[in-house]
Structure 1
Amino acid sequence: MSVLISGGAGFIGSTVASACLDAGIEPVILDNLVTGRREFAEGRAFYEGDISDGALIDKIFAERSDIEAVIHCAALIVVPDSVADPVGYYRANVAKSLEFVDHLLRNGCERMVFSSSASIYRTGEDHTVDEGSPLDPQSPYARTKAMCEAIFADIAATRPIRILSLRYFNPIGADPQMRTGLQLRRPSHALGKLIEAYEEGTPFQITGTDYPTRDGSGIRDYIHVWDLARAHVEALRRFDGLFPEGAVINLGTGSGTTVRELAEAFNRVVDRPVEVVETERRPGDVAGAYTRSDLAERLLGWRAGYSLEEGIRHSLAWAEVRDSRLS
């Protein structure tokens, strides 16, 4: 079996590709390398180009008749950037995804796993969400994911394709074998900023301390990227038996971690603690939430396996080797 992975040279997509390889599924990578890395596609079938390029999609399916499904990971993902450039985000994430699915339909593709986001939910009072929680995306990035899901549902209702959306929050860690990891040297998320502060000996800023959480800092669901990758593989394996119940499945740890608690866990792992200071919220940030994943356990036989500390350790290990792996 082969699977086409859009965005397969990015952080999530390349890790999913590694998990597919380990499971005996051949990944075929499609990536325009705007944020992805060519190094992450080495040794794998790779097509450089855009998901909206119909001629390229036709070429891929003509040359790879063994492709049985698609995992759609290609997207821009930085919340503050989406606030600053909503046009670019709607074009890249929504308009091009619509074109992509149209090309897939033309080529007879009947199965797609959409790597979505749990940021589209309205947060409950206890900061938990499940598949039935109301949607209320709070940033242009989150709205692009919600819009894609709505578009895909309309298409799947009348066309010969089934689309499964996997919703998750904050991936951390790296491939435990260090084949791939977060390609950015200066990522904007909290763990990336903690590692930057640790490397440079500067304070870590908690951006926002007036949220209605247990300690005032934002609450997040930090899930190890390898756990996410395993879930995508299980979705492929069980795809045909998931519908109609499993058109949407949440992936999470089942427990939330505040930014302050993340910093405390980080300082338990490293050899010298990082100083923590408080500052104002960033544009587009919200209090946050974490997801209940009972449906994922029941339908996919999946639950998160790595701890927060293990995710931090793998992130640190990748940070040490990243520059030697990326030319």
Structure 2
Amino acid sequence: MKVLISGGAGYIGSTVASACLDAGITPVVLDNLVTGRREFVTGRAFYEGDIADGTLVDRIFAEHPEIEAVVHCAALIVVPDSVGDPLGYYRANVAKSLDFVGHLIRNGCEKMIFSSSGSIYLPGADFSVDEHSGISPQSPYARTKAVCEGMFADIAATQSIRILSLRYFNPIGADPQLRTGLQLRRPSHALGKLIEAQEAGVPFQITGTDWPTRDGSGIRDYVHVWDLATAHVAALQHFDRALEEQQSSVINLGTGTGTTVTELAAAFNDVVDQPVSLVETGPRPGDVAGAFTRSDRSKRLLDWEPRFSIAEGIRDSLRWAEVRDERLGLTDLG
């Protein structure tokens, strides 16, 4: 099998590409390298360009007619940035995705997996959600994912393409073989900030401590990025069964366990030799209390369950942080 991965030079997409290779699936990568890294596509079929570029998409399909499916990972994903630049986020995540799916249909593509987000949910009283939970995205980033899902469902209802949306939660870790990992030296998510605080010898800021959770900090479903990658492979392998004879459908990808930011920090301090101190501060723009999945659809339809623990995700993130700058040739604070 050969698949096209948009955003395949980014954190998630490149890890999905590695998992595909390990499973005997050939990835073809399309990425504009706005946030992706050229180092992550070494030895892989790679096209540098935009998903909205119809001429380029046509060329990819002409040169790789064996492509059977597309994994659509290309997106801007930083919540506070989306609050500051909603226009840019809607243009990159929605408008270009609309163009992209049109190009796919024109080239006869009949299967697409969309990397969506658990951030679109309205959590229940216990912060758990399943695929039938209400939708209430609280940031421009999350709304772009919800808009894309609705847009894709409408398109799939009348066109030849079928679309499976994978709603995943909070990725941590790196490819266990350290082929790829989080490319940013200054990431905005909690684990990245914990690593940054430890490296700098400064306290870690728990952003928001008045949420209605068990300890007041936000609650998340932290899932290892390699588990997410293998779930995408499982979705490719079980695509027809996953859709349950529908044109479009959704599946949650998570651990099924809610972990608060304070609990993540405690787990981090259990792993490292030099624990970080903690300070409380206000929430960031676009922050929400959070959610975790209670669904078993991924097990039932994809034969997939997460294998890695939070501690293993922390360790792999730390291992990647040690080699990231050398692997990516980083010499500044990018």
TM-score normalized by the length of structure 1: 0.99
SS of 2:251's equivalent in the other structure is: strand
Q: Deviations over 1:88-114 (max 9, x none)?
A: 000000000000000000000000000
Give the gaps of 5 or more residues in structure 2: 330-334
Take 1:60 and 1:300, find their aligned partners in 2: how far apart are those partners? 28
Q: How many residues align?
A: 327
Correspondence for 1:159: 159
Correspondence for 2:332: none
State the shift of 1:167 in Å: 0.2
SS of 2:112's equivalent in the other structure is: strand
Q: Percent identity?
A: 76
Take 2:11 and 2:234, find their aligned partners in 1: how far apart are those partners? 19
Take 1:292 and 1:56, find their aligned partners in 2: how far apart are those partners? 40
Take 2:312 and 2:86, find their aligned partners in 1: how far apart are those partners? 35
Correspondence for 1:310: 312
Does the 8 Å contact 1:116/1:166 carry over to 2?
yes
SS of 2:70's equivalent in the other structure is: strand
Take 2:92 and 2:328, find their aligned partners in 1: how far apart are those partners? 25
SS of 1:166's equivalent in the other structure is: strand
SS of 2:223's equivalent in the other structure is: strand
Take 1:176 and 1:230, find their aligned partners in 2: how far apart are those partners? 12
Take 1:117 and 1:208, find their aligned partners in 2: how far apart are those partners? 21
Take 2:283 and 2:88, find their aligned partners in 1: how far apart are those partners? 23
Correspondence for 1:324: 326
Take 1:79 and 1:68, find their aligned partners in 2: how far apart are those partners? 32
Take 2:205 and 2:241, find their aligned partners in 1: how far apart are those partners? 45
State the shift of 1:292 in Å: 1.7
1:294 aligns to 2:296 (yes or no): yes
TM-score normalized by the length of structure 2: 0.97
Q: Please tell me the residue identity of whatever aligns with 2:140.
A: P
Q: Deviations over 1:66-99 (max 9, x none)?
A: 1000000000000000000000000000000000
Q: Please tell me the residue identity of whatever aligns with 1:265.
A: A
Take 1:310 and 1:253, find their aligned partners in 2: how far apart are those partners? 13
Runs of 4+ in 1 over 4 A off after TM superposition: none
State the shift of 1:242 in Å: 2.2
Q: Deviations over 1:275-309 (max 9, x none)?
A: 10000111100000101230000000111110000
Does the 8 Å contact 1:253/1:293 carry over to 2?
no
Q: Please tell me the residue identity of whatever aligns with 1:231.
A: A
